[in-house]
Amino acid sequence: MPRIGMSGFVMLGALWAPFVPACAQQAGDWPNRPIELIVLNAPGGASDVFGRALAHAAQGVFSQPIVVINQPGGGGATQMAAVRSAAPDGYTIGVNTLSHFTSMQSNLAGVFSPDDFSWIALLQEDAYLVYVSTESDYDSFADVIAAHAGGDEVTVGGFGPIGSTANIAAHVVMEAAGIEQNWVSFDSSSATVANVLGGHVEIAVGNPGAVAEFVEAGRIRVLGVLAAERSPALPEVPTFAELGLDANPDWTQIRGIFGPAGIPMEIQQAIAEGLFEAVQEAEFQTYQRRSGIRGLHLGPAEYAEYASEATEAARGGLQAVGIAPR
């Protein structure tokens, strides 16, 4: 299992295990009814897009409907409460991100802990990007730096409160540029996009999947990508390293599947192996390529181990934005 390193941030690029076909023995007759997949944000956000694409691909594997339920609110608290309180039978699962690990040590500390959940499968790694409306005066990130050279704060919006993964990504970039940021929190990626387009925030931070259609429509301009390499979905957009900024490229978003604690390991394994098969489906692969997302394949045992490492990485990210982890 690769280690997480470099200044308390996540080194996710090495997290890879080969695809394993669904061949393990199913637990009893699971699944024999529809499966609910609970998403922590509103329709249109990156996690919602992932959840719906995954549900569509997995229906053919499980031979049961996968019903996507959006439960935004409370920086993930509403969704986490619904997942934690569900019966541990594999019929209620949720999309989780790195945000779950930051929130359990900040705004939701003492409310939820990693032990409240079964960590079933880690499936995606996704870079953060900085974007503006095409109506903005910022044609490049150099314009942002020039506009705030006098010490004025820049208003930056994104999904989640101070200490969220998007906020930490923004901090990494703005600190490297020597700019103070005024963070504006939104309850979803789609709300962030709407507020950028409406001119209510200067700049936003998010993942490519949430803005791809707006980029194609000529309504959003991406100024830079926080990654070691350019995004395949946005090959013309430079990384911040290319722009001369020492911005840590390893703070990336992840997406996986979790459930309430106590799901039998046989069912967890059946879910994971079914999902590993589903993500090979052509339409799902097209969605990942279009969004510049890298696929990951960690099953229950590996993901449970990774959860403790992600907790430590999240701790480092929180400390970077001035929050003492709890």
- pLDDT above 70 (res 103): yes
For 221-252, what is each residue's pLDDT tens digit?
999 999 999 998 899 999 999 999 999 998 99
* 53, 108 contact by CB (below 8 A): no
Q: Is 185 exposed, middle or buried (0-12, 13-18, 19+ CB in 10 A)?
A: middle
Cα–Cα distance for residue pair 242/226, rounded to 1 Å: 10
Residue 57's pLDDT band, with cuts at 50, 70 and 90, is very high
Which domains, ranges and CATH numbers included, belong to the chain?
A: 35-126+252-320 (3.40.190.150), 128-226 (3.40.190.10)
Distances from the Cα of 19 to the Cα of 24, 60, 118, 228, angstroms: 13, 18, 21, 24
- pLDDT above 90 (res 46): no
Question: How many Cα atoms occupy the beta-carbon half-sphere of 287 within 13 Å?
Answer: 23
Axis crossing angle, helix 265-278 with helix 46-62, rounded to the nearest 10: 100
Q: What is the CA radius of gyration of the chain?
A: 19
For 138-178, what is each residue's pLDDT tens digit?
999 999 999 998 888 999 999 888 888 999 999 999 999 99
* pLDDT given for residue 146 in this prediction: 95
Check residues 14 and 289 and name the one with the higher pLDDT.
289
Cα–Cα distance for residue pair 49/55, rounded to 1 Å: 10
Q: What percent of the chain has pLDDT over 90?
A: 73
Mean pLDDT value across residues 77-84: 97
Supply the mean pLDDT for the chain. 89
Q: Flag the least confident range among 5-9, 31-35, 109-113.
A: 5-9
pTM, full prediction: 0.81
Residue 27's pLDDT band, with cuts at 50, 70 and 90, is low
Phi and psi at residue 145, to the nearest 5°: -60, -45
